[in-house]
Amino acid sequence: MKPLFALLFCAAVYSCESPSDKIMKEFKKVNDSLTQPGEKILAVNGYTYYYNRLLLKEPNHPGRLETAKVLFATMQVLAARIDSVQELLRTTDSVGETVGVAEKILIHTPLGDSLRKAMLEASDRCYAALLSPDKKPALDSIFSTVKEYTTPGNWNGGVFSETPTVAAQTILSALESRCMNAASLTMKDIDENLK
């Protein structure tokens, strides 16, 4: 009986994954789901759809769409910056398991600082362009995570410090998605207010 128990115990120990392996698999799964081409297209299409609707209304509302144009340009810049950082993370650590890559790229670097500022600018532009005060709580909800992660203390200290690359990619994808959703909400609000 003891040899059978010992054999089963050894088999169970060797077949188990370490907690870090399990965490890495989960991060990869979440990251893959967030970066599916279709998901990004849907998020981009949200604010792009309403922006294009607004452009069609422009002849009837000259000069009233400047905030929408600035917001659209801001979102384009943000998306391009996040895409370039994601690509840099992927090329630097193709497996995604290395701790410290994101820290070297994003903490106290010009690239990291410009990305953080671009996210904050997206937030500022959305709030400035929002026309309906009753939509502010929804915008607050969308941006709550963005604001939490982009405070200097969190960005430079906790969020990307000793974080596996795949986790940093997941965080960036989630923040980008929230910014795009906020831009969609804001563009829709402008569209609904301009008849």
Evaluate whether residue 10 is within a structural domain. Answer: no
Residue 137 CA neighbour count, 13 Å, CB half: 1
Query: What gap in Å lies between CA 54 and CA 63, rounded to an integer?
Result: 12
pLDDT digits (tens, 9 = 90+) for 53-65: 888 888 888 777 8
Evaluate whether residue 12 is within a structural domain. Answer: no
Evaluate whether residue 3 is within a structural domain. Answer: no
pLDDT digits (tens, 9 = 90+) for 86-128: 999 999 998 888 888 999 999 999 999 999 999 999 999 999 9
Q: Mutual orientation of helices 165-193 and 19-34 as an angle, nearest 10°?
A: 30
Evaluate whether residue 88 is within a structural domain. Answer: yes
Most confident option among 4-18, 51-65, 145-159, 179-193: 179-193
Q: How many domains does the chain have?
A: 1
Q: Regarding predicted confidence, which is higher, 158 or 176? A: 176
Q: 154 and 119 in contact (C-beta within 8 Å)?
A: no
Evaluate whether residue 7 is within a structural domain. Answer: no
Work out the number of other CB atoms within 10 angstroms of the CB of residue 108: 11
Evaluate whether residue 149 is within a structural domain. Answer: yes
Evaluate whether residue 79 is within a structural domain. Answer: yes
**Domain housing 124:** 21-193
Tell me the whole-structure pTM to 2 decimals: 0.76
Evaluate whether residue 47 is within a structural domain. Answer: yes
